[in-house]
């Protein structure tokens, strides 16, 4: 299934997660399995968090960009529209392309 995820864009052009395991450089076009990275100040998030649309008003777009991703083994989570509405918690993602 196709979904969307917001990633941090580094000065060197590489992409990474916004908050959890944010130092990892993520590769496009390959399946990436979700892992658990306990992070102080954050709830345990052992899944990739993706949205149904490239829209999450509660998150800043500074140095970030939306990407279309393919997801596997996911559950649906309904969030308030101010947080993007429908979210998917996926065990695996494949980063496809930047949304312009």
Interval 17-56: pLDDT, tens: 999 999 999 999 999 999 999 999 988 889 999 999 999 9
Global pTM value:
0.92
Q: Which helix (H) or strand (E) holds 64?
A: strand 64-78
Residue 11, C-beta contacts closer than 8 angstroms, at least 6 positions apart: none
**Residue 61 predicted with pLDDT over 90:** yes
Domain boundaries, the chain: 2-98
- The stretch 62-67 carries a mean pLDDT of 97
**Residue 84 predicted with pLDDT over 90:** no
- The stretch 60-69 carries a mean pLDDT of 97
Residue 45: the pLDDT is 82
φ/ψ region of 57 (left if φ > 0, alpha if ψ in -120 to 50, else beta) reads: alpha
Residue at token pair 């429908």: 86
φ/ψ region of 7 (left if φ > 0, alpha if ψ in -120 to 50, else beta) reads: beta
């Amino acid at each position: 299934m196709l979904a969307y995820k917001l990633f941090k864009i580094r000065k060197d052009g590489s992409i990474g997660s916004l908050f959890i395991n944010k130092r990892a450089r993520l590769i496009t076009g390959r399946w990436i399995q979700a892992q658990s990275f306990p992070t102080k100040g954050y709830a345990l998030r052992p899944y990739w968090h993706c949205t149904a649309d490239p829209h999450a008003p509660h998150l800043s777009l500074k140095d970030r960009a939306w990407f279309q991703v393919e997801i596997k083994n996911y559950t649906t989570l309904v969030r308030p529209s101010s947080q993007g509405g429908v979210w998917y918690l996926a065990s695996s993602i494949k980063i496809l392309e930047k949304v312009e």
